C-alpha cells in the first residue's frame, strides 16, 4: 500500500513539475512518462542476487526501485533540465544520482538515474518511500529496450562478438543524440 501511495504522490509531483516547466519555457521536453511497480518475483530475485532474504525490512533497506518512473525526453539537454527540475523539487528528497550519460555502462547503456524519497502521510506520521526515476532521450530509450532484451537472451554472459556490436551501436545512438542536440540548437536560433 505504501508504494501505491508513493506512486500517486510522485506521479502528481512530476506532472506538476513538467507542467510548470512547460508554462515557464513555452514547450514541454517530455515525450512520455512511464511508471511501473516491480513484481514480487522481481523483488525476490533482486534480494536473492544481493544475498538478502525476502522480508519487508530488506525490501525497504535494499531495493530502491520497487517503484519506478521513466521520463523520456526529446533532446540530450532536456535530460539535464528534467534532472534539475526533479532535484530541486521541495516535495522530493534526492538520495542518489547516477549519470550513465557521462559514464555509460559496459554495453553502452546511457540514461540518468535518480533515487528519490517520496513522502507519504500516514495518520500521524510521514514515511519516505524510495523510488527510481530514469530520465533519457528517445534514442537512449530505444537502446535501453534493446540492451535489456539482449542481456536477458544470454543467461550466462554475452558473447564477445555481440558485446563488440553492442558497443558500436551504442556509439551510433550517442552520436545521433549529439546530432539531434545540435539540430535543436540550430532550431532555437529561429524561434
Distances (CA, A) of 123 to 2, 120, 127: 12, 10, 10
The residue segments making up the domain with residue 178 are 2-189
Looking at the predicted structure, is the pLDDT value of residue 163 above 90?
Answer: no
Please state, in angstroms and rounded to a whole number, the distance separating the CA atoms of residues 187 and 117: 37
Q: How many domains does the structure of the chain reveal?
A: 1
Cell 540548437 belongs to 185
Looking at residue 139, what is its pLDDT?
92
Q: What digits encode the pLDDT tens for the residues 72-109?
A: 999 999 999 999 999 999 999 999 999 999 998 877 88
Please state, in angstroms and rounded to a whole number, the distance separating the CA atoms of residues 10 and 157: 36
Answer yes or no: are the C-beta atoms of 125 and 187 closer than 8 Å. Answer: no
Please state, in angstroms and rounded to a whole number, the distance separating the CA atoms of residues 89 and 97: 15
Looking at the predicted structure, is the pLDDT value of residue 187 above 80?
Answer: yes
Please state, in angstroms and rounded to a whole number, the distance separating the CA atoms of residues 83 and 97: 9
Q: What digits encode the pLDDT tens for the residues 10-67?
A: 999 999 999 999 999 998 899 999 999 999 999 999 999 899 999 989 998 899 999 9
Looking at the predicted structure, is the pLDDT value of residue 152 above 80?
Answer: no
CATH number at residue 27: 3.30.460.10
Q: What digits encode the pLDDT tens for the residues 105-128?
A: 877 889 999 999 999 998 889 999
Q: Cell for 32? A: 512520455
Amino acid at each position: 500500500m505504501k508504494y501505491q501511495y508513493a506512486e500517486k504522490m510522485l506521479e502528481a509531483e512530476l506532472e506538476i513539475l513538467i507542467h510548470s516547466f512547460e508554462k515557464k519555457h513555452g514547450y514541454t521536453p517530455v515525450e512520455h512518462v512511464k511508471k511501473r511497480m516491480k513484481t514480487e518475483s522481481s523483488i525476490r530475485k533482486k534480494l536473492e542476487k544481493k544475498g538478502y532474504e525476502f522480508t519487508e525490512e530488506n525490501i525497504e533497506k535494499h531495493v530502491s526501485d520497487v517503484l519506478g518512473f521513466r521520463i523520456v525526453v526529446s533532446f540530450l539537454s532536456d535530460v539535464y533540465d528534467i534532472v534539475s527540475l526533479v532535484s530541486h523539487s521541495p516535495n522530493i528528497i534526492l538520495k542518489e544520482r547516477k549519470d550513465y550519460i557521462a559514464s555509460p555502462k559496459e554495453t553502452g547503456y546511457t540514461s540518468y538515474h535518480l533515487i528519490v524519497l517520496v513522502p507519504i502521510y500516514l495518520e500521524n506520521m510521514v514515511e519516505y518511500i524510495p523510488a527510481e526515476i530514469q530520465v533519457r532521450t528517445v534514442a537512449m530509450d530505444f537502446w535501453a529496450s534493446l540492451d535489456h532484451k539482449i542481456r536477458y537472451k544470454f543467461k550466462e554472459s554475452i558473447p564477445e562478438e555481440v558485446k563488440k556490436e553492442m558497443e558500436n551501436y551504442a556509439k551510433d545512438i550517442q552520436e545521433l543524440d549529439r546530432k539531434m542536440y545540435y539540430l535543436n540548437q540550430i532550431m532555437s536560433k529561429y524561434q
